[in-house]
Amino acid sequence: MIDALPPALTMMAGALALPFLRGPARSGAILLVPLLALAQLWALPDGPALTVGFLDHTLTPVKADALGRLFATVFLLMAAGGGLFALNQKAVVELSAAFAYAGGAVGVALAGDLITVFVFWELMAVASTLVLWAEGGELAARAARRYVMVHLLGGVVLMVGIIAHVSATGSAAFGAMRPDSLGTWLILAGFLINAGAPPFSAWLPDAYPEASWSGTVFLSAFTTKTAVYVLIRGFPGAEILVVVGLFMVFYGIVYALLENDMRRILAYSIVNQVGFMVTGIGIGTEMALNGAAAHAFTHIIYKALLLMSAGSVLFMTGKRKCTDLGGLFQSMPLTTICGTIGALAISSFPWTSGFVSKSMIGQAAADQSLAFVWFMLTAASAGVFLHAGIKFPWFVFFQKDSGLRPPDPPWNMRAAMVLFATLCIGIGVFPGALYALLPHATAYEPYTPAHVVDMLQLLGFSGLAFFVLLPLMKRTLTITLDADWLYRRLGPELVQVVGGGVVAFDRAIRKAAHLSLRRLLDLAARTHGRSGVFARTASSSLMTMLTLVVLAGLLATVYG
Amino acid sequence: MTLHDHLPALAVVVPLMAAPVIVALRRPTAAWAVAVAVSWACLAISGQLLQSVLANGPFSYLLGGWAAPWGIEYRVDPVDAFVLVIVSAIAAVVSLYAKTSVAKEIDPDRQYLFYAMYVLCLCGLLGMAITGDAFNVFVFLEISSLSTYVLVALGRDRRALTAAFRYLVLGTVGATFYVIGIGLAYMMTGTLNMADMAERLPAVAHTSTVRAALAFLVVGIGLKMAAFPLHLWLPNAYAHAPSVATAFLAGTATKVSVYVLLRIVLGVFGGTGLLTALPLMELLMAMALAGMFVGSAVAIWQPDLKRALAYSSVAQIGYILLGIAFLSETGLAAAIVHLFNHAIMKTALFLALGAIVFRLGSARIEDIAGIGRRMPLTMAAVLVAGLSLIGVPLTVGFVSKWYLVEAAIGAGLWPVAVAILLSSLLAVAYVWRIVEAAWFAKPSDKALAATEAPTALIVPTWAMAGAAVWFGVDATGTMGVARAAAAALLKGVAP
């Protein structure tokens, strides 16, 4: 069955081959394997390309359609660009794991049934853990341990859900579902855990910044976006996703504003951006789903670009805290430009890719007369600009002069950044190419004068607010950015109230969970540890006594 | 009658006769060669039996031509044949591995004893699986148990003696309970033939004698299969036995005991209606769940990896018992397929640990630090089998887990389905610990001096680890047999 999983298999084969290659052969393989898989992907006809029998069910491990192809395409683009960026990564394991990870993501995107989804889902969990782990430090190892536990737990939830759903419906096919039975609820929960939804949002910013300078680039792309993909396919229009998505939007903003580690800022902003997509899926109209899919596509590219620029800084300086960085534009001009393009794209600046995709979600909310949702999304857009659009490039590349004068990174890292920056601008200027790939036909036109002016106003005012409040931000590093910096009066209060609520909810849940988990672990360690009651060597008489007790119990049962 | 017709008897007679031959030969290499030849012959016989039972349905063989129920009947149906193949396949692979490892761990002048006990144990296990006579089961049980005590006692240090002695005491208690149970049933039915007994028991099912028989049998067999909380003999026995013995026993001994449980409790007592009338299955389920969690949790903290994996076996027996306790076709099939799957992966793991002991002289967690780069093939096998133990897709562990969860959901027991998967997360913890120590910890002094294990140890280890992947990708064959076996067993169980 394995020899017929074309694009995913190519990536896996590449992953297995990489450790045995050296020098130019290795570099060549890193660059060519994703492109080969991409060619295979586009040669796949629509519909099931393969069926196999596994555990009483007929599986369709490869089934292409517009939606799957869109996601698989961007995953493979990401693998190619990330591979180029990571050519000088010394840790052999990392790229192999990253290719297997990308293969898993492609496998999910092309899976025609839930069992295949689960198989690739688990593969991604293991491979991404290895990417994280390959960093080699103790912090990364610990983060990897926490990361894998969350994902395996998510796998447990997903597996129970899938088995229940499959045995209830008799079919393993992966199509649109409604969360109306325990099985489908569990599947939804399993998907959401990977998407970084509450109360499991913390795994993402906890783990991603601990990976190596190149590892984070890979990690940012696949796990959350496959979750977005399966949500689009599995639960379009599930209302609960609107609430979950909005929560994630604000969760990401609030924590990113508080953060000092440059890559953790960007990790929080992943939660925030995925929140936009999840909201779109919850709205569920064709426009909204198109928007979610398109936003996933563009987000992968600009977030990778941002993390590449952060990775370049880390690679050249070894520093990751905003407070240690600054003024790098003088010696790293290319990195600065590329990082800024990424920052503009994530802020949905007109003529960047973020603008043409995110505006679809907002438009869908407006079309459905979901005023509140539309309003929250618009307010959040200002917040995105603050934390990712300005805060990241400002503190890393500009602000005070840190005295660091590293040059731009090696050619391959520069090339990868230029490539992705070009994509960001290209999609922004020519959105038609992206729209043609979307699952539903669309005639959406992002560049209406009103929309462009609106967006520029929003960005202009929040940008102004950032600099007005800059001293405040540096000094206290808390959420006091609620002055009159939004041109709509309700905006600031919303961010304040919602943000405060998000933080309170998140902290309360995590505290309670941590506490009970710790108690449980302590108890388990006491009773099951090396000299715990369950681990002790028992004497013959004790064992015999125990046997008699069991016999007595059984006799009582059979006579009772 | 041709030789082919005598295959059921040969499966037992060949290893039984080989034991005195080995003792007579005494030379280690010759003894080993006989053990290998016998193990592979048994595998060929078992394979033949499985093939003909799948093609032509169950058949009987009358020992000495005496008709049942007076004579001893060997009955071969899909369940027996499946267990025969599992046991002899593991014996065959392990026998190839034995020479190198035994030469290192056991004195030359005692090695022939090891091989003699090895084939005797094989004889006992195969006999338990093939016989259709309840008392004959006891005879073979004792043959396998007594030889197992000796195998354990041949371990490298003196703790092996204590472990063997405790196992002997408990094993004898278990066997005695079994005989008491069979004796009580015999009192009421006047027969020892299982099929005959199953027919006559329903008429006397209301008597307290039959009920007491059931209780004694469950406890007796539960002891032999190391069901929680009757498992206490197992960790030390596995930890201190020679590596080869541990690998062989972990894959076979407890599995055959599970088979006996299926045979006696479901096959013989199934028709009485007692299984559903009494909360017996609920009790077994509670034991299973407790075993799953306690066994896995203890494994997380154990410093000796052999002991850790022994505790993991307790947990795995819990899964099998759980599948049985559902008393449904899916549940039974899951239990039976897990017999096979767990046998494969646990044997692979213990063989790999044996290779580590061969090089390091120890399998303690602090000694294996950094061993991953020194013994990459061995540790890769540990990783593959470990992933299977967790139940990662495309390994046999996943197949078992899938059907077990499906059975739990089919029975409407949601919390149990979640418990199965949560306990598999504990397996993640103890496998992760090994992986972390092997690849990411600072190498220990012992690890620095180590090199990759010899080919004679690597090949059998990887045969098992490879099988764990092979049958995980294509589970059609194993599941087909398990389903057929489950359906056959369930037919005799009164609702």
The Cα of A196 is separated from the nearest Cα of chain B by a number of Å equal to: 20
- Transcribe B269-307 into DSSP letters: TGGGSHHHHSTHHHHHHHHHHHHHHHHHHHHHH-SBHHH
Going by C-alpha positions, the residue among B355, B188, B222 that lies closest to residue A554 is: B222
**Spatial separation of the C-alpha atoms in residues A41 and B31, rounded to whole Å:** 58
Which one of B232, B269, B434 makes the best mutation probe of the A interface by having the most chain A beta carbons within 10 Å?
Answer: B232
pLDDT in tens, B359-388: 888 888 888 888 888 888 899 999 999 999
Top pLDDT among A481 and B420 is at B420
Q: In A, which residues are within 8 Å of B278 by CB distance?
A: 557-558, 560
The Cα of A153 is separated from the nearest Cα of chain B by a number of Å equal to: 7
| pLDDT at A484 (0 to 100) | 37
- Listed by number, the residues of chain A in 59-118 with a beta carbon closer than 8 Å to a beta carbon of chain B are 118
The Cα of A104 is separated from the nearest Cα of chain B by a number of Å equal to: 12
Closest residue of chain A to B287, computed from CA coordinates: A550
ipTM comes to 0.81
**Subunit contact B219:A148, Cβ cutoff 8 A:** no
Buried b or exposed e, range A94-121, using 16+ CB within 10 angstroms: bbbbbbbbbbbbbbbbbbbbbbbbbbbb
The Cα of A142 is separated from the nearest Cα of chain B by a number of Å equal to: 11
Average pLDDT over residues B89-94: 93
Count of A–B CB contacts within 8 Å?
A: 137
Q: Side chain identity at B333, as an amino acid letter?
A: A
The number of beta carbons lying within 10 Å of the beta carbon of residue A425 is 15
Domain count, chain B: 1
CA-to-CA dists, residue B469 to A348, B378, B381, B402, angstroms: 47, 16, 11, 15
Query: What would the two tokens of residue A473 be?
Result: 């931000």
Q: In B, which residues are within 8 Å of A182 by CB distance?
A: 414
**Subunit contact A532:B394, Cβ cutoff 8 A:** no
**Subunit contact A537:B418, Cβ cutoff 8 A:** no
SS3 of A408-427: the string is CCCHHHHHHHHHHHHHHHHH
Residue B225 lies in a domain: no
Q: How confident is the model at residue B148 (pLDDT cuts 50, 70, 90)?
A: very high
Q: How confident is the model at residue B441 (pLDDT cuts 50, 70, 90)?
A: confident
Angle between helices B280-301 and A490-528 (to 10 degrees): 100
Query: What would the two tokens of residue A267 be?
Result: 């990790």
Range of the domain at B484: 279-495
Closest residue of chain A to B172, computed from CA coordinates: A544
Does A52 contact chain B (CB < 8 Å)?
no
B367 burial via Cβ count (<10 Å: 0-12, 13-18, 19+):
buried
The Cα of A144 is separated from the nearest Cα of chain B by a number of Å equal to: 11
Assess contact for B444 and B370: CB atoms under 8 A. Answer: yes
Top pLDDT among B38 and A93 is at B38
Rg (alpha carbons) of chain B, rounded to whole number? 21
pLDDT in tens, A459-472: 877 777 777 766 65
Residue B340 pLDDT exceeds 70: yes
Below-70 pLDDT ranges, chain A: 1-5, 469-496, 560
pLDDT in tens, A116-166: 999 899 889 989 998 998 888 888 888 888 888 888 888 888 988 998 898
The number of beta carbons lying within 10 Å of the beta carbon of residue A545 is 12
Does A550 contact chain B (CB < 8 Å)?
yes
Residue B375 lies in a domain: yes
- Contacts by residues B429-432 (CB-CB < 8 Å, ≥ 24 positions apart): B429/B296, B429/B300, B430/B296, B430/B299, B430/B300, B430/B302, B430/B308, B430/B312, B431/B386, B431/B387, B431/B389, B431/B390, B432/A145, B432/A148
**Subunit contact A149:B274, Cβ cutoff 8 A:** no
Q: Under DSSP, is residue B494 helix (H, G, I), strand (E, B) or coil?
A: coil
**Subunit contact B297:A524, Cβ cutoff 8 A:** yes
Q: Classify residue A478 by its DSSP letter.
A: S
Q: Measured between CB atoms, which of A55, A149, A528 is closest to B294?
A: A528
Closest residue of chain B to A528, computed from CA coordinates: B298
> How far from the centroid of its chain's Cα atoms is residue A296's Cα?
9
**Subunit contact A164:B219, Cβ cutoff 8 A:** no
- Contacts by residues A526-529 (CB-CB < 8 Å, ≥ 24 positions apart): A527/B297, A528/B294, A528/B297, A528/B298, A528/B300, A528/B301, A529/B301
The runs of H, that is alpha helices, within A137-202 are: 138-169, 182-195
Residue B64 falls in which region: left (phi positive, over 0), alpha (psi -120 to 50) or beta: left
Share of chain B above pLDDT 90, in %: 40
Q: In B, which residues are within 8 Å of A54 by CB distance?
A: 475
H/E segment holding residue B76: strand B73-76
Q: Measured between CB atoms, which of A126, A163, A540 is closest to B170?
A: A540
Going by C-alpha positions, the residue among B171, B166, B127 that lies closest to residue B145 is: B171
Does A520 contact chain B (CB < 8 Å)?
no
| pLDDT at B105 (0 to 100) | 87
| pLDDT at B267 (0 to 100) | 87
Closest residue of chain A to B308, computed from CA coordinates: A535
Going by C-alpha positions, the residue among B345, B394, B363 that lies closest to residue B101 is: B363
| pLDDT at A480 (0 to 100) | 38
Strand partners, A50: A62
What value, to the nearest 5°, has the Cα angle with vertex B435 and ends B431 and B440? 150
**Subunit contact B393:A133, Cβ cutoff 8 A:** no
Closest residue of chain A to B222, computed from CA coordinates: A547
Residue B320 lies in a domain: yes
The whole-model pTM stands at 0.84
Q: Side chain identity at B238, as an amino acid letter?
A: Y
Residue B294 pLDDT exceeds 50: yes
Q: Side chain identity at B321, as an amino acid letter?
A: L
Does A537 contact chain B (CB < 8 Å)?
yes
The Cα of A387 is separated from the nearest Cα of chain B by a number of Å equal to: 36
pLDDT in tens, B170-206: 999 999 999 999 999 999 888 888 888 888 888 888 8
The Cα of B72 is separated from the nearest Cα of chain A by a number of Å equal to: 30
Residue B230 lies in a domain: no
**Subunit contact B474:A153, Cβ cutoff 8 A:** no
Q: In A, which residues are within 8 Å of B166 by CB distance?
A: 538-540, 543
| pLDDT at A479 (0 to 100) | 40
Q: How confident is the model at residue B335 (pLDDT cuts 50, 70, 90)?
A: very high
**Subunit contact A528:B300, Cβ cutoff 8 A:** yes
